[in-house]
Amino acid sequence: MRKTLAIALMLTATLGLAACDKKSEDKAQDAAKHSEQAQEKMGEAQDKVNEAAKENAEAAKAQAESNAAAAKEAAPAPAPEAPKN
């Protein structure tokens, strides 16, 4: 009687633990989905950072051209040469 009861309890415990594994598999799949989504969002964020850096480089180039033009306009005109006799 004791062996039968012990075997029945062990079998019940084994089935109970086997049923718990399904939940952990679901959690692992959910974690994988979230990981994929996070990687996609990181890629999108990196694209935005690259685009912002490109715009900053273009703005710096435009500013440099503007500074050069302003310096050229501010430079005094060369004095006319005196006529030679």
**What are the tens digits of pLDDT across the range 34-49?**
999 999 999 999 999 9
Tokens linked to 13: 């415990």
Residue from 24, 22, 25, 29 nearest 37 by CA: 29
Largest CA distance in the chain: 138
The DSSP symbol for 10 reads H
Tokens linked to 7: 């075997």
Please list the ranges in the chain whose pLDDT falls under 50.
none
Phi, psi for residue 22 in degrees, rounded to 5: -60, -40
pTM above 0.75, yes or no: no
